[in-house]
Structure 1
């Protein structure tokens, strides 16, 4: 039985992990991206001051940077999970999300409300992308 080597994806254009995980992992032609919150990659500071639109834009910038480092882009994303502290923010987040994932075949997606997110974030998004 052959094993598929795993490869970590690391870029300075997205926030460094704050725990024992990678920004993303490549496995067998797939890219598994860790969830991104609205951290400025240069400073590690939260972006948006609690404004969900500004937070969502930063989250998507971070996610796109990881995709780019892995050699892909949002058009190859097949699945996302959107975590919101308040589902009342769904429409605002969805409008910005559509700017990135609205063309072509949009990814399959789950959107869930959670009790809290790291560093007081209002939104976190992860994804899985096809590399071929």
Structure 2
């Protein structure tokens, strides 16, 4: 049986789960909710870089992304940062929707599926 690795598990979630070389991240939100969409997005990508590195991979290996925006009108600003963060030609399959997030200060949440 293959081993399942869970990063920082709590009773309700793990930061990431690794199985058969696939890494599934939690929905990552900014650790500083005072910032605007640009600051929160940059903070999320910094966290994702660290989380992916911890599992021996990086943003060149993203297969799928799910993105939730508090305001869909922030999509262009998000995409600008997203496109600069992704290596050229490495865009994953993706969904981006407007959603009510867990805290009204949260402007964006990102969840990834990657591989090693």
Do the two structures share a fold, i.e. TM-score over 0.5? yes
CA RMSD in angstroms, aligned pairs only: 1.8
Please state if 1:60 is matched with 2:45. Answer: yes
What is the Cα deviation at residue 8 of structure 1?
Answer: 1.4
Runs of 4+ in 1 over 3 A off after TM superposition: none
What is the Cα deviation at residue 4 of structure 1?
Answer: 2.1
Matches within 5 A, 1:1-132: 3-10=1-8, 20-39=12-31, 46-47=32-33, 49-118=34-103, 120-131=105-116
Paired residue total: 116
What is the Cα deviation at residue 122 of structure 1?
Answer: 0.2
Conserved 8 A contact 1:67-1:73: yes
TM-score under structure 1 normalisation? 0.80
Q: 1: distance between equivalents of 2:64 and 2:11? A: 23
Gaps of 5+ in 1: 11-16, 40-45
TM-score under structure 2 normalisation? 0.90
